[in-house]
Copies of this chain bind each other. A is one copy, B any other.
């Protein structure tokens, strides 16, 4: 739509699309609204929309994905959660323990997270574990603790859903729905999350190509939820020194195709605490919109993933380092945009202060 298009113009276009049996996806941006169309079998004649009031142009997207593309929406998506943002000038920090184990642990970690200036608290209530005999999370009991943390610390709650009914509970008590690497192609779960009003953090599958990952995001968006955050968390390769190989090139490669924000998880992406801080620095330097970090007050006693959790003091040092890199990067961003048109990074040097 043109920048001058009114809400009425947008509605009129949406009505026409729905009237001919297709699905319309309105995505408002800073200056103009993009409207995606799905549900067509084969190509449709775009000329019928061109003469509607407020329409700027009609673009055919011939790629396997439609709604995630820069073709449809050249501006980056900024996901907003209770005043915090992911994908804008702010460096988004999501931190917390792998799993909520008990009130004392959760509160100790939440305090460190809040002090670092982070706006998001992560914590698993249901844990996907390779073995049926491993700790599977506190389940619904964990929510009581989560609710207290949300209230006490003012942090947004990010929790992984393993099956569609979990989304109901996150909608009730949480703020962001996480879909894990193992479920990146669990299409029932993607569709359920796509019908939610909460943002969805979609982790890359362990052997997923960029196209498969973006198509998983498309599943969510095709249901009407456009607040998707992509999270690179390492892929499986022959290299076994870290548990996974963090594929940082995915960040600029996604940015070249999609308007969705991308964050990096160096905790799962390496599996070893001593690698987390260096790879967090690298993730911010490569241009990620945020980080997801595992923190535990007593990593040696953690019920899951203790080997990769940082202590609060290590986490505080990490945050200081990545903020310095974000600032340093921001100072040169203007030069970069002139020289190297393929980077679409919007950085506001002081926004995260």
Residues on B with beta carbons closer than 8 Å to the beta carbon of A320: 332, 335
Residue A286, interface by CB 8 Å: yes
Residues on B with beta carbons closer than 8 Å to the beta carbon of A239: 209-210, 235, 247, 250
Residues on B with beta carbons closer than 8 Å to the beta carbon of A324: 328-329, 331-332
For the complex, give the distance between the alpha carbons of A132 and B332 in Å.
39
A271: nearest chain-B partner, CB-CB: B249
Give per-residue flags for A236-247: 1 if the beta carbon is below 8 A from chain B beta carbons, else 0. 111111100111
Residue A115, interface by CB 8 Å: no
Interchain CB contact under 8 A, A128 and B185: yes
Interchain CB contact under 8 A, A249 and B245: yes
A339: nearest chain-B partner, CB-CB: B317
> Which of A319-353 touch B at CB < 8 Å?
320-321, 324-325, 327-329, 331-332, 335-336, 339-340, 342-343
A180: nearest chain-B partner, CB-CB: B185
Interchain CB contact under 8 A, A317 and B331: no
A250: nearest chain-B partner, CB-CB: B241
Give per-residue flags for A260-278: 1 if the beta carbon is below 8 A from chain B beta carbons, else 0. 0000000001100011011
Interchain CB contact under 8 A, B250 and A248: no
Residues on B with beta carbons closer than 8 Å to the beta carbon of A250: 239, 241
Interchain CB contact under 8 A, B131 and A215: yes
Residues on B with beta carbons closer than 8 Å to the beta carbon of A314: 339-340
Contacts A/B (CB < 8 Å), 18 sampled? A128-B187, A131-B218, A163-B188, A210-B239, A235-B237, A238-B238, A242-B249, A249-B275, A252-B279, A253-B275, A277-B336, A278-B286, A282-B285, A314-B339, A314-B340, A324-B331, A325-B328, A328-B328
**Residue ranges of A at the interface with B (Cβ–Cβ < 8 Å):** 38, 64-66, 128-133, 162-164, 182-183, 185-188, 205-207, 209-212, 215-216, 218-219, 222, 235-242, 245-253, 256, 269-270, 274-275, 277-279, 281-287, 313-314, 317, 320-321, 324-325, 327-329, 331-332, 335-336, 339-340, 342-343
